[in-house]
Structures are given as structure tokens and as C-alpha cells.
Structure 1
């Protein structure tokens, strides 16, 4: 996806608020999910402010042609409800200035933290935020979000040309086919869809934001919990995964957790052939200890414990 030219960015800023001017723009790493540009804007009435422009990548747009519109609507709802998300300000799906739909939202001051000094507090705050997200019940206001079940059906039915045998893709798909349909043991809630440490924004030791909502769906909250469990395992190990799970369960005691092993198996299927790609940035995060090898080993343990709890 080409970087948006300064000339186009200046026109976008003018459309957002007549008289505002672009001071500078900096492309940020958005991965495969989106092109992200940090905008520093001078307001016509005085003062400067930072914003993020997000233009979703091909993968997300092929899965959901309205992904920009949906993320914009969702962020408006969540910001109004008091969740720590960026306030959205502008949406353009017209293609007049840029051929790819984009949204502009507040820039949350802070940074990701891949090596927390106080891991116990990091885990507690992360679990509390996931619980807060799962307390959002899908009503009419969220009827534009997809249900998770069709997503699961797609993953189970998908037949990659080169299945990842180290991940045991075939075994996982076969197990999930025998378990399907995965029943919602809990009332459907909002799901973030990609709740991992790279999407947490920290400032002064506080978790002040969660970003990248393009994978949001509605469904059993355990499906989100399992995704977070695997990512906690990769980042910080087995004890951290267990501590995170227990912290979440203490905050959400009324949920039925009996289907957690099934959702763990679904979470284990998600990486597919992307483990090498997902492992590559960790050295740049200051964590060269997280490698393809450690991620595969952790994944194997995660699958083993899921099957063990599935068939005690």
C-alpha cells in the first residue's frame, strides 16, 4: 500500500476542519492490517494536536468491504461509553482524495510495553480491560458487527495449500470439526478480536488505550479470552498466562468456562502459516528471546493442555 502523499494529506486536513493546516506527517508501522500515518495538525483557532489516519490493508478489506466504516462507528460507541479507545473524528469512503477508505482518530499518547517492570500489575490491568470490553452487550447499536461463528466456520473449512505441520493444523481442524458447532455457553458480548500486548497503550504505568479494532466481532467472550491467553503465553510464559486467566475469571465470575479448551483450540488454529511473520518483530520490540522456536514450543504446549482439559 503506497504512502499517502503530503499533498493529499493536506487536503484531508482541510476537509476535516476548514483552516486547519498540516504541520508534518509520519508513517507508522501498521503491519498487514493497515497503513497508519501520524498527523500533527495546527488548528485554525490555535493549538496543535496529533491524530492517526488509518487506511485498512487488502486482507481486512477483502474480508469486510466496510471495515473502515464499521471501525469508525464502533469507536464512536465505545468512546461514548467510556472505554479507553481513540476518539474517531473523520471518515472518508468516497475515494475522492484517496482510493482506499480511511478514518482519522485521536492519537493516544503513550507506548506499547513488551518488557513490563511490574508484570503482575501489567497482567491485572490487561485482564481488567478485557473484562471491561466483554461487559459491552451487543444490542441494536452493534448490529453491524459480524458474529464469530461464521468466522470459525471459515477457519475450519479453509484448506491451505501448504498446511503448517509444526502447528498441527490438520489435527486442529479435524478436532474442531468434531466439536462444531461450538456452543455459546455465555451471552454474546463485544469481542476485540486481537487482544495482545502490541495493541495496548501504556502511559505512566497505566493502561490508557487499546487499539486496532478491525477484527471486532460479537460472540462468546471465551473466544477472545483464548486468543489473549495464547498471546500472553508467547510474550511472558505459562505462569503469566495462568495469572492472566485467573485475574480475568475473578472479574468475570458468572461466566461458564467449561468450553475454554475448545476455544483454546480455535485460538491455536489462528496463526496458520504466520508464526514466522509474527515472530519476526519481537527482536525490534527489545525481546530477542521470543523467536520462531519459542513460539512453536509454546504453541505445542498450549494445544496439549487444551486437549488434556478437553478429555480429562
Structure 2
């Protein structure tokens, strides 16, 4: 790889809008990986997504054309500095287990190709349902709601049933136990909060203390998506084809993901979590498939923690716009929503107590 890129001009700082450089570097990288001539065509940057920068493209080598995705972690983005390997090893292991995720091919964390970490995966056809409704009313008809809802929570259950030990996913193990993995997540998000804001928010500081004092013991340690919700999967004719956006993947309490699906932000005021199933429906299906026991109090804890996480993500978005120079007005818009998120944290904590 180094030999192929040697002699080229110095790799510039990553510019998501410089498609010519992206195409040139991508072609050279693929040629090095495949050992032959590669043609890259139909390179297109997708504007969706708030974290990794995503390009779709076709690549032809060996007489075959493949539809692929390039995801690059922008050096000034929300979760910078990014690492591609955690997402890569998770997707690789899950694809091998038959889960509905994109197949992955290559990754690089050296920043020598694009000036940023990246990975390359299959492009999965489908649409991303983002059914926000102004009045909080039903977003799907009843048949579609149940069809997608059953698949959605079955996929989540299968993720949490996945036996990650003995796979490359085991390298994500930070030494947590059932009694400590929740504290690890609290500490990780508090550290991000302090890194991303010079201001201190009493509501968030108090919330962090409450989460520590009431942290549940996990029933098992599972692979956690970290952002499992409506808007992060592709579907065709009511069938979910692939779950996307694994940048927050880690090992932890599976109820962290379940609580995240219940956030007010994903249901628009409706009674359907992620516009798909009611709490009773999702608990019945999820518990039957995983064998876990989930009471309302524990679910409320994780919903409150998810709201806390979401508020800190908004701090990160505004920080990357204001302090890091990440020129994306959506980040500024997320900063404007911080007061509303603080109120949601307060409300979620009241419901959890």
C-alpha cells in the first residue's frame, strides 16, 4: 500500500467536498488492495448522516463491478478523533453470523490515504424511513408498523444474543463486568461532556451523579449498537435489509440499546417507540427472544440515560462547529436545541425515579 502511494503528492487534509482527490486516492487504494487496475465511477457524497462522511461509488476490477460505500471519519467531526476498526470488526463478525448489516472489505486508521480513518463496505439498496410527523400522529399504516416493528426488535434481540466471545469483537472488551459496564458508559459520556463544553450544565452533572447512584447490574454483556433507532436502517417493501451507523458500537448492558429506542426524540410524541411498537409490544417480543427480564423501572433508567447521551451529542455537535471549524450548519442547529434537550433530560429523570 505504501509503495503504491509513494511518489504521489502529499496527502492533503481531508476535504469532504474535494471529490477529485477522494476519487484519486480511492482508486490508488483499491488498486493496491486488489492487485490490478481499478476504475471508480459514480462517486457521490451523501448528505445524510451527522457523523461519518459517506460516499457511494461503483468500482470495477477483475471484470466485475461492485456497488460500494466509503465512510470517512472527518478530523473535525462530532466524534473525532475517529477509529474505523471497532466498526469494521463488529460489522465483519455480524455479517459472518448472518445479521442484516453491510459486508465490509477494508479499513484504515493510519490517515495516510485520505487524511482520516475510513472503511469500505457494500452498498445495500433500500430507503431510510424517517417518519417524523408534525402532529405526532401515526407515521406508518398498521400493517407496515407491525411488520417493521417485529423485524426491528428481532434484529435488536439477535444482536444482543450474538456470542461475541471468540470473535474479533472481543478486542472491544474494556474489562467491564456485569456490575461495572454501566459505570464505564457513564464515565465515557461525562468525559465527552467535559471535553465538548467549557460551560457546566447543572442538570447534566446532577443526572450523571444520579445514574452512578442507581446504576443497574447488567444481566449479560452484549454487543451494543449505540444508536439503534428509526432512521438507521434500510428497508425495501417493508423488509429491513441492513442496519447502519455503528460508530458507537461497544460492549455493555443490552438494555442500553433498548432504552435508546424509547427516546421521545424518535417517537414524535406518539405511543410507538421509534414509531413502531408500544412499550408493551416491544417488551413482550424482545424479552421472549432474548430471555432477559426487563422491568419498567430499569427501562426508564436507560431511557433517561439515552436522553442524557443525546444532550451530550448535541454539545459535541455545537463544539465541532464553534471550536473545531466543522463547517456544517446542521451542527449549529443541534446547538440551538440544547435547552430543549436539557428539559427532556429533566423529564426523563423524573419518570425514572
* TM-score scaled by length of structure 2: 0.71
Give yes or no for contact 1:229–1:244 (8 Å, CA) kept in 2. Answer: no
Q: Of the candidates 67, 70, 78, which is equivalent to residue 50 of structure 1?
A: 67
| 1:113 and 2:129 matched | yes
Q: Of the candidates 161, 170, 190, which is equivalent to residue 223 of structure 2?
A: 190
Partner residue in 2 for 1:229: 262
The offset of 1:71, in angstroms, is 1.6
| 1:71 and 2:97 matched | no
Residues 1-312 of structure 1 correspond to what in structure 2 (within 5 A)?
1-3=14-16, 5=21, 6-17=23-34, 18-29=36-47, 31-46=49-64, 48-58=65-75, 59-62=78-81, 67-115=83-131, 116-117=140-141, 118-141=144-167, 142-147=169-174, 148-149=181-182, 150-156=184-190, 158-159=193-194, 160-163=197-200, 168-179=203-214, 182-230=215-263, 234-241=266-273, 243-251=277-285, 252-253=287-288, 254-258=291-295, 259-272=298-311, 274-275=313-314, 301-307=347-353
Unpaired runs of at least 5, structure 1: 282-290, 308-312
* TM-score scaled by length of structure 1: 0.80
Q: Secondary structure of the residue that 1:104 maps to in structure 2?
A: strand
Q: Which moved more, 1:4-13 or 1:296-305?
A: 296-305
Q: How many equivalent pairs are there?
A: 288
The offset of 1:26, in angstroms, is 0.5
Unpaired runs of at least 5, structure 2: 1-13, 132-139, 175-180, 319-328, 331-336
Q: Secondary structure of the residue that 1:197 maps to in structure 2?
A: coil
The offset of 1:38, in angstroms, is 0.7
Q: Secondary structure of the residue that 1:198 maps to in structure 2?
A: coil
Q: Secondary structure of the residue that 1:103 maps to in structure 2?
A: strand
Give yes or no for contact 2:311–2:341 (8 Å, CA) kept in 1. Answer: no
For residues 249 and 164 of structure 2, the distance between their equivalents in structure 1, rounded to whole angstroms, comes to 12
The offset of 1:230, in angstroms, is 0.7
The offset of 1:42, in angstroms, is 2.5
Cα deviation digits, residues 104-136 of structure 1 (max 9, x gap) = 100010110122443333322221211111111
Question: Are the structure 2 counterparts of residues 293 and 238 from structure 1 closer, same or farther at C-alpha, using a change threshold of 3 Å?
Answer: farther
The offset of 1:16, in angstroms, is 3.6
